[in-house]
Amino acid sequence: MNMAKDNIYALPHARVGDFAFDEAVADVFPDMIARSVPGYASILAMIEQLSERFALPGTNVYDLGCSLGAATWLMAKRIPASCTLHAVDNSPAMVSRLRARSEQEQAALEGACAIDVHQADVREFPLSNASFVVLNLTLQFILPAERRDVLAAVYDALLPGGALLLSEKVWFELPTVDKLLTELHHDFKRAHGYSDLEIAQKRTAIENRLIPDTLPQHEQRLGEIGFRVVAPWFQCFNFVSMLAIK
């Protein structure tokens, strides 16, 4: 796995464009996300654990918005070999790297489930016969008006008792709370080596691409779609992960 250091925003940009999952980001993504998302390793560990609990033999498991496949690889070692694990992302840069890694590490996956890597838009990708679905920091990059349809498609594809793992950056309606947790998140970034310039430029780049919901919005929407259990299990500052069971 490429662990090149993220310095994309280290120098002043004359114009900060919208954030994109392009070649430059793919090159540094493991470092970027580890230093940007508090609790990311804990979320990955729980995805691995939950996949073993919920994935059923002969079903499909989906990692929607898989990026470089960090969750995909953890699940592949845990779920039944008769499952098919679908890793889906719309970024050519991410998908090309994941496919190359899959080809290089086939021997390490001997006896594990099949991994199918797809370059596709998760809003349009067909889902069926699913026992476990992961949307790990993915839904937040989909337009708010389109999120319900994505989640409804997941719900329809899940078998009874199947589960969705949904991780998101959120905002808080109480301004003092939202401001505090945003500042704590920025402190986290500083503690992991990002400068104030990097934090400011990254925030400008991503503000039109990542539009967060509140946790109550997530819970209400999931309940209205039909999930019988919606359980937020993790929060660190303004990042939350939920388990929704059909």
Q: What is the pLDDT of residue 106?
A: 66
Q: What is the pLDDT of residue 10?
A: 83
Give me the amino acid identity at 211.
I
Q: What is the pLDDT of residue 1?
A: 47
pTM for the structure as a whole: 0.95
User: Concatenated DSSP letters for 139-167?
Assistant: GGGS-HHHHHHHHHHHHHHEEEEEEEEEE
**Which of 170, 128, 186, 132 has its CA nearest to residue 153?**
128
Q: Residue 42 has which token pair?
A: 């804990």
Q: What is the DSSP letter of 78?
A: T
Inter-residue contact 59 to 159 (CB < 8 Å): yes
Q: What is the pLDDT along the chain (246 residues), one digit of tens a residue?
A: 446 898 988 888 877 778 889 999 999 999 999 999 999 999 999 999 999 999 999 999 999 999 999 999 999 989 999 999 999 999 999 999 999 888 777 666 777 888 999 999 999 999 999 999 999 999 999 999 999 999 999 999 999 999 999 999 999 999 999 999 999 999 999 999 999 999 999 998 888 889 999 999 999 999 999 999 999 999 999 999 999 999
Please report how many Cα atoms fall inside a 13 Å half-sphere around the Cα of residue 197, on the Cβ side: 8
User: Concatenated DSSP letters for 169-186?
Assistant: EB--SSHHHHHHHHHHHH
Q: What is the pLDDT of residue 111?
A: 73
Q: What is the pLDDT of residue 107?
A: 66
3-state secondary structure of 41: helix
Q: What is the pLDDT of residue 207?
A: 86
**Which of 118, 165, 167, 177 has its CA nearest to residue 141?**
167
